[in-house]
A and B are shown apart, each in its own frame.
Chain A
Amino acid sequence: MHIPDGYLSSQTAGVLYALMAPVWYFAAKMVKKTLDARRVPYLALGAAFSFVIMMFNVPIPGGSTGHAVGGTLVAILLGPWAAVIAITVSLVIQALMFGDGGITAIGANSFNMAFVLPFTGYLFYRIIAGNSQPTSGRRVVGAFVGAYIGINAAALFTGIEFGIQPLIHHTADGQALYCPYGLKTAVTVMLAEHLLIFGWVEAVVTALVIAYLQKVDSPIFWNQEVK
């Protein structure tokens, strides 16, 4: 889901940076309200987890690969605004150091994976978890469903960003300038891959970590305590 340089036109990439700018701004403002020194290690852990889980490429036999993002997990544990910060940091390091995702596409990749994903996942988690006890099974179910829907929402937006490219940028003889696949192909492939495979990986990883943290009674559920 890491859009490389050259798949989006400069205009599309610029629009997505512009959309992310206020999100980053509000994320910084919101995190500033709750982040005390005791919680900084958890923010670092969230970013580190997201970074490393994205390295676990899962194959579609004979086809492509994909991976979990851990965005809903970070949003559940640290809140969706902190997830924006944690995952953005992870995406920036991936792009700059490892060429995983383009530098012109940091806005786009952050929009998909550090904004759409954690907020969508968190919304569905909240709906299902409600006011249940921190150790309630409803939280595990909410984490599972939220993670599945969250990563698919991100995949949908990624597919749209890829898919509009040949419509808006092509040569006179019809050759694409950037991503050559249109909306139908890009959205279908991105959604099918995540609905059928990677979404389940994200859901299982998220639910397992939440269940584990409930079992060891970790104080990490601080997002709920502080309001």
Chain B
Amino acid sequence: MMKPTTKLWIGIAVLIILSPLGLIIPEQFKAGSAWGEWGCEEMRLLVGYIPRGLEKLSSLWNAPVPDYAFKGWENAGLSTLSFAYIASAGVGITLVTACVYLISIFLTKK
């Protein structure tokens, strides 16, 4: 008999593998960024200028894997991006899980 948590982790693994659907389907329907999550250039097209505070703060943090895509691969094909997306999901979930276990050291009742 499989442990109940093993079954649920398999479910998470399936979601990781299916995650590129969250990339491919919006592409098929020509959907752009989420509302309020545009980059500076997109903002210039929308309102005609880049708000000064936005310009300053938007580059505050350089994420190692921006938008779940590897740096320099932004213009790669959809299959390459899908691979990066799956890898990102795997890395992200590994980190999230590690963080929860780390926090749990302090939060577990004795």
Contact with B along A55-69 (1 / 0, CB 8 A): 111111111111100
Bound complex: CA A44 to CA B95 (Å): 10
Residues from chain B with a CB closer than 8 A to the CB of A9 are: 53
Interface range, A side: 35 or more
- In the complex, the answer to whether B23 meets A47 with C-beta atoms within 8 Å is no
Q: Separation in Å of the A183 CB from the closest CB of chain B?
A: 13
Please determine whether A2 and B34 come into contact, CB atoms closer than 8 angstroms. Answer: yes
Known: A49-B12, A56-B19, A90-B96. A175 touches B51 (CB 8 A): yes
Contact indicator B52/A48 (Cβ below 8 Å): no
> When the two chains form their complex, are residues A104 and B67 in contact, meaning their CB atoms are under 8 A apart?
no
Asked whether A62 and B104 contact (CB < 8 A) given A7-B36, A47-B96, A57-B23, the answer is no
B contact face: mostly helix, strand, loop, or mixed: helix
- Chain B contact patch, size range: 35 or more
A198 to B97, CA, bound (A): 26
CB-nearest residue of chain A to B64: A97
Answer yes or no: A180 CB below 8 A from chain B CBs: yes
Q: How far is the CA of A63 from the CA of B21 in the complex (A)?
A: 17
Which residues from B are CB-within-8-Å of A5?
57-58, 60-61
- Please state if B96 and A48 are interface contacts (CB–CB under 8 Å): yes
**Is A167 located at the chain interface by the 8 A CB criterion?**
no
> Are B36 and A97 within 8 A (Cβ)?
no
| A158-200 with Cβ < 8 A to chain B | 158, 162, 169, 171, 175-181, 186, 189-190, 193
5 A-B pairs besides A51-B92, A62-B29, A93-B99 with CB distance below 8 A are A35-B108, A42-B5, A59-B30, A93-B92, A93-B95
